[in-house]
Every structure is written in structure tokens, then in C-alpha cells.
Amino acid sequence: MPAMDQPTPRPTKRCPICGKPALHRFRPFCSKRCADIDLNRWLTGRYAVPVVEEDAGAGGEREEDA
């Protein structure tokens, strides 16, 4: 039976790039190398936040302006 005064170990998060256990210093990554790989992917456009573009409608007026 486990002692009640011992904290329950939290599950280790994994690095999203290589899958190794993440280090607190480079959280959520395991190393500076993996952090730099992720940054490069954002800067080169490999990662992108999806955007829903709205149609401007006829004449480019929005409903609020009409």
C-alpha cells in the first residue's frame, strides 16, 4: 500500500517534435534543438493557423455599413 504523504508522480509530457520526455527548461520541448526546429516550421510557413475569409459581397460593402 503506498504511503499517503508521498505525492503521486505526474505523467511526463512528450516533446511534440521527437517524442522524448520534455524538460522543464525547454518546455514543451526536450531540447533547444527541437524548439528551434519548431520555430523554423512556423517561420517557413509549414505550420499555419487556419483562417476563414469572409466574402466582401457586392460592391465591397459590409452589412454593417449598409
Total domains in the chain come to 1
Hey, what's the cell of 51?
483562417
In a domain? residue 60: no
pLDDT at 20: 96
41 φ/ψ angles, rounded to the nearest 5 degrees: -65, -40
In a domain? residue 63: no
Is the pLDDT reported for residue 66 higher than 70?
no
pLDDT band at 62 (very low <50, low <70, confident <90, very high): low
4 φ/ψ angles, rounded to the nearest 5 degrees: -75, -20
In a domain? residue 54: no
Q: How many CB atoms lie within 10 A of CB 28?
A: 15
Q: Which tens digit of pLDDT belongs to each residue from 3-53?
A: 567 665 566 899 999 999 999 999 999 999 999 999 999 999 998 888 898
- Domain that includes residue 33, residue range: 13-47
Cell 460593402 belongs to 61
CA 19 to chain CA mean position, Å: 14
pLDDT at 27: 94
